[in-house]
Amino acid sequence: MPSNAETILETAARLRRDVGGNLHDRLTEAIYADAGKIVARAVSSDEKSNNRNLEQTFDRLVTSRWFGFPLMILLLTGVFWLTIAGANIPSAMLGDLLQGTVYNWLHTFAAALNAPWWLKGLLIDGVYLATAWVIAVMLPPMAIFFPLFTLLEDLGYLPRVAFNLDRLFKRAGAHGKQALTMMMGYGCNAAGVVSTRIIDSPRERLIAIITNNFAICNGRWGTLILIGAIFIGSTAPPALASFIAATSVVAIAILGVIFTLLVSAFLSKTWLKGEASSFSLELPPYRPPQIWQTLYKSIIDRTLIVLKRAVWMAAPAGAVIWLMSNIFIGETSIATHLITFLNPFGLLLGLNGVILVAYIVAIPANEIVVPTILMLTLNMAKSGLAQTGVMLEFDDNAQIQQILTGVGGWTILTGINLMLFSLLHNPCSTTIWTIWRETKSLKWTTIATILPVILGIIVCFLTATIARLSGLI
Amino acid sequence: MTTQAKTISECGSCATSCNTAHLTKLGIKTGGWDYVVALAGNPNTGKSTIFNRLTGLHQHVGNWAGKTVTRAEGAFTLNEKKYKLVDLPGTYSLLSTSVDEEIARDFVLFGKPDVTIVVADATRLERNLNLVLQILEITDRAVVALNLIDEARRANLTIDERALARDLGVPVVPMSARRGEGVTELLNAVESVAEGKFPARAHRIKYADEKLEKAIETLAAELRAEFADLPNARWVALRLLEGDESIIKAVRLNQLGTVKEAGIFPSLVQIEAN
């Protein structure tokens, strides 16, 4: 402590009494008075403009009590519809190229080099195949979805969504700015957790951190879009398939918002009691998006970065999957042991052992869930078929569906519950680490990690039980 | 990151920046700088766009308030001088309390930047001036970037930037960072302030209260005697007179002038206690 600190503070206290109360207000008034004078001298406006009026009319519509939410859902459905309808063909082409042509070429090449079987397996059937899956499954939807989402962001739509949601957050005892941190989470939950710094109150900030995982991140959109397309979309007539699939993805996203609100309300009534604090949210002007910059930004800055991360994660995961499938304890592989062990619990939840193992392998990155599931399912099938040497080819959604239903024994319930579990499970390891870094609290990091999994188990168990009791499956 | 260092003069398409032949964008190579430049301003006024323009980096830019919550740093060289540029989270005022706003406040106050660029939204000038005036209370070495001037024009607002510069006592540069308009002028202004060529006489708020003025001076003198290298004794004195708890605590713990690192969660202990 500096020797004279207390003297200074005493002087300050004495002078404070001298200058009188409400100094803060007087200072603020002085600033505003000066600002007003300066602006009066420097700015002149021509009232003929009706630009602002148009914008205000539009804002009233977008944020209105009646049209706000339907418009939001419509826009979101439109975005996913374009994504799903547009991604199918390029996905099939990429799959054909990477898992067909290049894969076969690599095997021929390896055979010519006389590479040992385990090296071929580890590198081609493990590392390469997992990477190829990630690219084929994720690149096309991301390359369509991200630019569309970025356009909405540039336009200034996101703060309007936050404005619409503010009422609900307040009712849940949470901070209205949590809607903005949730928007950030739709890109990446780790970024979403960091963005909670805009919330002043530690109580409300913790709520925002714990519930950020209910905002579906980049790594999970791909899973939802694919599973929605092949399990939900396929139940509808072909003309409506993409639309129905898009609706199912939107439904999961909305469910995420509902869980955010419910868990926020629960937390603010129990462990994190308190009143919601008020704040002012600024609605930015609508800005005409710069199409080329948006494309560049969303392809280079988002799509490729997310893809790069996915590939980095998929390569070692591919090796792990191959090793798990090819190292035997007794008569069966490690993968089979694990899957058989987890299968009863998985089936109880309307999932299966493969899915649960995939979610363990995919803790570092949600992006690799679907490729892991497919590789494990195929490896299981191969060992079941007693290594017949038959190459299973698969290059579009219909074939992925065949693998999952035919080989993996999936039903529509498995598809729906995988979508639910994709929403409700632990955050990825990067996000967990970020939560720890932001809170420096073991307790809250653990709660933020475990709570969503518990919810996922409960919800999946309920849907599975209801489906079974009502005889749907 | 050498690929990100490219001279603007190489890109023939951007006519507006071609007279900035001496600008080299250095991306994140921030070591060994001559000047530190801070980018402050209200949320969503285009700080990150200006940051990207000058450094060649691709900080995520979004059309909403609260997008930048940490300090981002980048660098550029101009006429053989190296500048470190620090992009701060948006803030409406220097008197606020959330972590992101504290990061901005602490850096402007105690980071001792050589130049502070205050980005103001030309379409909402009056409200933006609130922060501009607060920053001018702290430092003479500032440049006001009057951004979004294209939107102001579209809204039929005419801004007399000379009158504004005269009143504020610092350079005012009308610009549209999105379109690359005014970037050269901004750099020229930053350079002249950094090198002390601009005779800055920043606007000071008139409190029209002799008793208050005297109190500020008495307290500021005591503060200067105790904390020799405190750059903003008057500002700190005012906060003490207001009874600002965080400043009182900083004086008591001798933490005045330390720039806090991001990511600290100050009152978590309090929550645990509840």
Chain B neighbours among A 395-454 (CB < 8 Å)?
Answer: 437-441, 443-444
Distance CA A145, CA A129 (A): 24
Q: Rounded to a whole number, what is the distance in Å from the CA of B109 to chain A's nearest CA?
A: 18
Q: Is the pLDDT of residue B18 over 60?
A: no
Sign of CA dihedral A229, A232, A238, A239: negative
What per-residue confidence (pLDDT) applies to B13?
A: 39
Q: Rounded to a whole number, what is the distance in Å from the CA of A268 to chain B's nearest CA?
A: 12
Distance CA A42, CA A38 (A): 6
Q: Using 50, 70 and 90 to split pLDDT, how confident is the model at B30? A: low
Q: Do A198 and B154 touch (CB under 8 A)?
A: no
| pLDDT block averages, 10 residues each, chain A of length 473 | 74 82 80 88 72 74 82 85 81 84 90 88 88 81 80 78 83 83 82 80 89 89 87 85 89 94 90 69 70 73 74 86 86 86 91 92 85 84 50 60 80 92 92 88 93 96 92 71
Q: What is the residue-averaged pLDDT of chain B? A: 76
Q: Where are the alpha helices (DSSP H) in A4-127?
A: 5-19, 23-42, 51-62, 68-95, 103-112, 117-120
Write the burial class of residue A8 (CB in 10 Å: 0-12 exposed, 13-18 middle, 19+ buried).
buried
The number of helices, as runs of H, and strands, as runs of E, in chain B is 10, 9
Can you point out the beta strands (E) in A313-393? 328-329, 332-333
CB atoms within 10 A of CB A1: 9
- In B, which residues are within 8 Å of A197 by CB distance? 69-70, 89, 98-100, 262
Distance CA A128, CA A132 (A): 6
What per-residue confidence (pLDDT) applies to A258?
A: 94
High-pLDDT (> 90) share of chain B, %: 21
DSSP H or E run through B172: strand B172-174
CB atoms within 10 A of CB B243: 14
Chain B interface test: which of A3, A43, A296 (most B C-beta within 10 Å): A43
Kindly identify which residue of chain A lies nearest to residue B127, measuring between CA atoms: A35
- In B, which residues are within 8 Å of A272 by CB distance? 271
Kindly identify which residue of chain A lies nearest to residue B252, measuring between CA atoms: A5
Closest listed residue to residue A187, CA positions, set A303, A316, A72, A272: A303
Q: Do A45 and B158 touch (CB under 8 A)?
A: yes
Q: Do B270 and A202 touch (CB under 8 A)?
A: yes
Distance CA A341, CA A410 (A): 18
ipTM above 0.85, yes or no: no
Q: Do A43 and B154 touch (CB under 8 A)?
A: no
Chain B neighbours among A 227-286 (CB < 8 Å)?
Answer: 272-273, 281-282, 284-285
Q: Rounded to a whole number, what is the distance in Å from the CA of B192 to chain A's nearest CA?
A: 24
Q: Where are the alpha helices (DSSP H) in B99-243?
A: 99-110, 125-138, 149-154, 161-168, 183-194, 210-226, 233-242
Closest listed residue to residue B83, CA positions, set B186, B190, B198: B190
Partner residue facing A35 (CB), from B126, B154, B209: B126
Distance CA B31, CA B82 (A): 9
Chain B interface test: which of A6, A8, A24 (most B C-beta within 10 Å): A8
Distance CA A140, CA B273 (A): 49
**Highest mean pLDDT out of A302-311, B79-88, B246-255:** B79-88
Q: Lowest mean pLDDT of A452-466, B157-171, B257-271, name the range.
A: B257-271
Distance CA A361, CA A289 (A): 39
pTM above 0.80, yes or no: no
Distance CA B43, CA B41 (A): 6
What per-residue confidence (pLDDT) applies to A168?
A: 87
- In A, which residues are within 8 Å of B158 by CB distance? 43-46
Q: Do A438 and B263 touch (CB under 8 A)?
A: yes
Kindly identify which residue of chain B lies nearest to residue A206, measuring between CA atoms: B268
Q: What pLDDT, in 10s, does the model give residues B97-141? A: 666 677 777 788 777 889 999 999 998 898 899 899 989 988 889
The three-class DSSP label of residue B71 is: coil
DSSP lists the bridge partners of residue A45 as B157
Structural domains of chain B, with CATH: 2-194 (3.40.50.300), 207-274 (no CATH)
Answer with the residue of higher pLDDT: B48 or A462. A462
- B171 Cβ neighbours under 8 A, 6+ residues apart: B143, B144, B165, B189, B192, B193, B198
Q: Do A46 and B60 touch (CB under 8 A)?
A: no
What per-residue confidence (pLDDT) applies to B11?
A: 40
- B55 Cβ neighbours under 8 A, 6+ residues apart: B25, B26, B27, B28, B74, B75, B76, B85
Distance CA A80, CA A88 (A): 12
Q: Where are the alpha helices (DSSP H) in chain B?
A: 47-55, 99-110, 125-138, 149-154, 161-168, 183-194, 210-226, 233-242, 245-252, 268-273
B205: which 2 tokens? Answer: 């708020």
Kindly identify which residue of chain A lies nearest to residue B153, measuring between CA atoms: A45
Q: Rounded to a whole number, what is the distance in Å from the CA of B137 to chain A's nearest CA?
A: 10
What per-residue confidence (pLDDT) applies to B15?
A: 38
Chain B interface test: which of A18, A154, A282 (most B C-beta within 10 Å): A282
Closest listed residue to residue B237, CA positions, set B210, B209, B256: B256
- In A, which residues are within 8 Å of B242 by CB distance? 16, 23-24, 27
Chain B neighbours among A 153-212 (CB < 8 Å)?
Answer: 153-156, 158-159, 162, 177, 180, 183, 194-195, 197-200, 202-203, 205-206
Q: Do B159 and A42 touch (CB under 8 A)?
A: yes
Chain B interface test: which of A1, A25, A28, A38 (most B C-beta within 10 Å): A38
DSSP lists the bridge partners of residue B119 as B41, B145
Amino acid (one-letter) located at B98: S
DSSP A217: P
Q: How many CA atoms lie within 13 A of A254 on its CB side?
A: 14
Contact of B154 with B184, CB cutoff 8 Å:
no
Q: Lowest mean pLDDT of A163-172, A329-338, B24-33, B178-187, name the range.
A: B24-33
DSSP B265: -
Q: Do A41 and B167 touch (CB under 8 A)?
A: yes
Amino acid (one-letter) located at B42: N
What per-residue confidence (pLDDT) applies to B176?
A: 93
Distance CA B177, CA B50 (A): 6
Q: Does A16 touch chain B (CB under 8 A)?
A: yes
Average pLDDT over residues B244-250: 78
What per-residue confidence (pLDDT) applies to A96?
A: 84
